[in-house]
Structure 1
Amino acid sequence: MRDHFLRLSAYNAWANDRLYDAVAELSDDRLVAANGAFFDSIFGTLTHILIADRIWMHRLTGEGPTHTNLRDRPFEKLGELWMEREAMDRRIEAFIDALPAADYAGESHYTNTRGEPHHLARQIILTHLFNHQTHHRGQVHHMLSVEGRVPPPLDLLYFALPAA
């Protein structure tokens, strides 16, 4: 289980770096332009991904910044958001690397953003964390296409093939 999540963590950081490299080519105006996306824009969607990761990592560890609103916008510039994204990717990998094997099946008890108590197996939470990022990276990938850019390939296969 640990190796599986370490691979997903490494893939996740790789995909985020590729996507941020691509969106960095856009002007600030295009990054924040409202385009009908659920989180308003490319920048809004990238911010949402990080906010959600902060929430989940706080639930898993009890540490680090957290939020009560998935639409929080604590960053104004892509460079700042990107630095926080890279730090979060390292934090996720370190958490997975340090998690004892037996703890993957263990449950985490948490309160959601509406104040409701819940509990889930850590392996489900981690799977959700990575799947959630993939979902929203796909949205940003599409938004790059709409902007007339050629988005980078982000499939897990492209990450795994060089190591095969």
Structure 2
Amino acid sequence: MDLTEYFTTLARYNVWATGRLLDAVAALPEDDYRRDVGLFFKSIHGTLNHLLVADNIWFPRFAEGRSPRMALNAELEPDRAQLAARLRADATRWAPLIGTFAAPQWQGMLNYVTTQGVPTSLPFMPTLGHVFNHGTHHRGQVTAALTALGQPAPVIDLVYMLVEEQKQP
């Protein structure tokens, strides 16, 4: 498996896991959805907004060489249905972008400016890996919060997506 194929798999997983998580979160009562449940970004809503912020920071860095500056805890979308729709839509942007990366890019550097305004240069491939790992981390926090609230948490392990894909014609 080459790097484009591997990272495209991670992008497909991001879409799949985000969708499953948002389907589970949709069943939550509003009070539970917005309650401070001890997550780094307090509530499930706060954590989902952070995922939207992160995507709106990292995607332009990789796609356009642009470094948006915004607070990591910004509430970009107060409406939960709109937040879910934006998260679903944003997740679908990664696979097509990954298909545009030329072979030498994978071994190069990603130059960007941090949210604090510090110019930074990091290895391109592991930094892109961070984008997907970061999403997995916070989706895991939300599934733990769902469980703590007495709600069913979706199974969102990568291997379950791969199994589902094998079953498809």
> Structure 1 length as normaliser, TM-score?
0.93
Pick aligned residue for 1:147 from 140, 146, 149: 149
Tell me if structure 2 keeps the 8 A contact 1:54–1:64. Answer: no
**Residues 145 and 130 (structure 1), Cα distance of their counterparts in 2 relative to 1, 3 Å cut:** same
Aligned to 2:92, what secondary structure does the other structure show? helix
Unaligned runs of 5+ in 1: none
Q: Where in structure 1 do 4 or more consecutive aligned residues deviate above 3 Å?
A: 63-67
**Percentage of identical aligned residues:** 36
Match of 1:101 in 2: 103
**Structure 1 residue 65 displacement after superposition:** 9.2
Q: Structure 2: which 5+ runs fail to align?
A: none
How many angstroms does 1:91 deviate by? 1.2
Between 38-47 and 51-60, report the one with greater CA deviation. Answer: 51-60
For 1:129, the equivalent position in structure 2 comes to 131
* Mapping 1:1-164, distance limit 5 Å: 1-62=3-64, 66-164=68-166
* Aligned residue-pair number: 164
Amino acid at match of 1:100: A
* Contact preservation (8 Å) 1:51, 1:66: no
Calculate the TM-score normalised by the size of structure 2: 0.91
- Cα offsets for 1:85-144 (capped at 9, x unmatched): 122111111211222222122211111111111111221121000000011100000000
Write the distance in 2 (CA, Å) between the matches of 1:74 and 1:12: 20
Question: 1:49: how far off?
Answer: 1.2
Q: How far apart in 1 are the matches of 2:124 and 2:82?
A: 29
Q: CA deviation at 1:36?
A: 1.6
* CA root-mean-square deviation: 1.6
